[in-house]
Chain A
Amino acid sequence: MTNDVLVQTLAAVLFTIGILVVLLRRDTIMVLMGIELLLNSANLSLVAFSKSAAMIEGQLQVFFVITIAAAESAIGLSILINLYRNFGSIKTQNASTLKG
């Protein structure tokens, strides 16, 4: 078992746990944290594959993904503050005014 296999397996396990966090938790902030975990595991996989293929495009892609993740979390948390201001709670099932 080489380093590549170990890191890729770790990325797969973290991705699965991230999916479970997004689907099972009820707080919007936990959903956002699960998305961060998903992005982090995808980054790990990209870096390890790019390293073992002796390329640098994967690392540059990860640089851009981290920047977009920062932008996404800033927007997501400001939406979350609005959600709390309007509904008094950040549970996902409370924000259901669009429901017909």
Chain B
Amino acid sequence: MSPVILILAVISVILAITMLFAKNPITSALCLLGVLLMTAGIYGLIGEHLIATIQLVVYAGAIMVLFIFSIMLLNLTTESEDHKKEPLLYVSAIALGGGVLTFIILALNEHFLKHPMDYSFGKFSPEVIAQLGGNSKVLSHALFSQFYVSFEVISLALLIAIVGAVVLAKRKFD
């Protein structure tokens, strides 16, 4: 276990909990930005350099800038909310979250501890990837040869999203 990954994991959990309880939306947005940066660091440390770069550029760059821009455009300040008014919602949310966490931990326990097997059945082991020219080269090659239809469809989806966002933001609804 790498200690650097452990440190990044602890920081990102602390930032996520701060995001959950922060009153100011800009605090929450900056905490989410921190979580995304820590995730990019973890991607880089386990050797996924292309995904780490995309995470930094698209997620931490573009999406979070959009969020912070919206918060500042709408001039959102501290929200005056109190969870105590609806204890049923509070209790059911905690129960659902705890249930999901328990389920995932049980599944991970089943996967890693009860049936520990050699599940590295793919052909892209680290040695093969290094021989083929690195993580970014392998992923890009697969993206433009094996998955080129998905790539084109995703670019079309992005175009539709651009047009849809402009139409939605400019139109005056009655």
Whether A and B are associated in the same complex: the answer reads: yes
Contacts from A to B (Cβ < 8 Å): 1-10, 12-21, 23-27, 29-30, 32-33, 36-37, 40, 43-44, 47-48, 51-56, 59-60, 62-64, 66-75, 77-82, 84-86, 90-91
- Give every chain B residue within 8 A of A72 (Cβ-Cβ): 161
A2 to B100: give the CA distance in the assembly, Å. 23
Are A26 and B79 also in contact (CB < 8 A) when A8-B108, A90-B74 are?
yes
Interface of A: prevailing SS: helix
Are A78 and B48 also in contact (CB < 8 A) when A10-B9, A68-B154 are?
no
A24 touches B83 (CB 8 A): yes
Contact of B158 among A23, A67, A80 (CB under 8 A): A67
Interface of B: prevailing SS: helix
- Give every chain A residue within 8 A of B168 (Cβ-Cβ): 75, 78-79, 81-82
Are A3 and B51 also in contact (CB < 8 A) when A37-B35, A81-B169 are?
no
B63 within 8 A of A: yes
- Give every chain B residue within 8 A of A73 (Cβ-Cβ): 63, 66-67
Chain A: which residue is nearest B138 at the CB level?
A56
B97 touches A4 (CB 8 A): no
Chain A: which residue is nearest B109 at the CB level?
A5
